[in-house]
Structure 1
């Protein structure tokens, strides 16, 4: 169990060099309109735009696929859930699995949901793949005026996440060394997984408490102005990135309305 959260993109790419707050804001502005509709055209068009600008972020397709692996599991879960429990089963009948009818309408609805999940999650994946966590925390404090206690605390937590994978492996090896092994018994495996997860949670809480005390001892909650070792500048190019993301999202929504695909999520 390993977690890789370091930036894996080409840092010299044009959009990868943008301010972290600008990249995060652009991702938010581009994906928020996708929530307003349930049609498949809007997320499909958004995905196309995201894939077209991907080279400008310096993200390699292999890196993107590796980072998006959890989304593939989510897509499978959405498909299975819709096939089994969809209330509306319009369209042509494709397969009859006992009491479950798989129709074109069900697959279209599931496809639209899967496209929306990918279209909303992909910008966030790209932002974190092209941004150093320390730069993001500094930009949040300097440009977004976020509280230093929150931003630096989030950075510390983010840096500690990969340690969870190492601790899980350490706990598993320690229990195996003491003869605690589930073998092929699924019930024993579930019990062992639960106890290991609880031990990992307890360790994470203890580390979090120690980290909070250390931050308070260093004056993060003093309210005094703080200096910054790494300055983060918000330039006209960063503003252009935000405006471009908003205009691209507006154009996609307008195209969906004009072409008759727009289906508001409310109403």
Structure 2
């Protein structure tokens, strides 16, 4: 994480995580019901600029995530583009039929996927796990046992990845990776799954006992080591998000790039 999360002093890292979570979640609902292709074009452009400006990842990782998101968006749009219905046929060969209507709907679907991914990465790459779970407990009143349980599970992910590497190295030393065929592949898969499952059960049991000993199951109010509060940065964050959304709608009306104001009507 130290090599990828290199800019944690930016504005979006100083925002209350609960506020950020609620605002980002509301964006999914806003753009879920948008059928104007111009709005999604401008929204994807503005959120791409915003993500590039505020992300805490290094340039290499940030570009990699955007590229991966773009590829996924193209795949999500391809089914609608290649096999959609419409009256204005642009290309038809065997099972593939591209119409003007299916092209517009496919691009809208791809841009929606791209925008949703950017919005999700906007939250994921500017939010530290520990303050986020503390904010859930303090601002959104999530029960302590659930929040700390999720935080403990999050901390186990690197441990499980390291354990998987150790299992693979042990299998290489024993020569199990040199065996070919379906039977050998099935045996290796069983070794991975059974070992990881057994270790995960032991680790989860130890964690549960430790949390019970620390009285995480009690329902009374408790003190917190980290106090997550509010600041002027939260207001700035809300203004930035609202302005970004408003600009996408205003630019779609003032500077339309396509004639498809509602892809469902075509």
TM-score higher than 0.5 here? yes
Q: 1:219, CA displacement in angstroms?
A: 0.7
* Match status 1:167 vs 2:157: no
CA distance in 1, matches of 2:20, 2:204: 28
Distance (Å, rounded) in 2 between the aligned partners of 1:242 and 1:212 = 38
Query: Which residue of 2 is the match for residue 75 of structure 1?
Result: 73
Unpaired runs of 5+ residues, structure 2, are none
The alignment's TM-score, normalised by the length of structure 1, stands at 0.77
**Of residues 113, 116, 120 in structure 2, which corresponds to 1:120?**
116
C-alpha distance in structure 1 between counterparts of 2:3 and 2:221, whole Å: 30
Match of 1:224 in 2: 220
Q: 1:80, CA displacement in angstroms?
A: 4.9
> Is the contact between residue 94 and residue 104 of structure 1 (CA under 8 Å) also seen in structure 2?
no
The 8 Å contact of residues 143 and 234 in structure 1, kept in 2 or not, is answered as: no
Contact 2:164 2:196 in 1 (8 A): yes
**Partner Cα distance (2:86, 2:184) in 1:** 40
For residues 36 and 183 of structure 2, the distance between their equivalents in structure 1, rounded to whole angstroms, comes to 42
Give the equivalent residue in structure 2 for 1:35: 32
| Residue in structure 2 matched with residue 11 of structure 1 by the alignment | 8
Matches within 5 A, 1:46-195: 46-54=43-51, 56-59=53-56, 60-68=58-66, 70-72=68-70, 74-82=72-80, 86-88=83-85, 91-94=88-91, 96=93, 98-181=94-177, 185=181, 189=185, 192-193=188-189
Q: CA RMSD in A?
A: 3.5
Query: How far off is 1:203 after superposition?
Result: 3.4
Partner SS for 1:181: helix
Distance 1:39-1:139 versus aligned 2 partners, 3 A rule:
same
**Native 8 Å contact 1:29 1:242 kept in 2:** no
Change (3 A) 1:195 1:70: farther
Contact 1:14 1:56 in 2 (8 A): no
- Partners of 1:262 and 1:80 lie apart in 2 by 21
1:26-80 Cα shifts (integer Å, max 9, x gaps): 3223332111124433332222222332355254543322344653553354245
Question: 2-side partners of 1:118 and 1:187: how far apart?
Answer: 41
TM-score, length basis structure 2: 0.77
Count of aligned residue pairs for this structure pair: 260
CA distance in 2, matches of 1:218, 1:107: 58
Higher helix share: 2
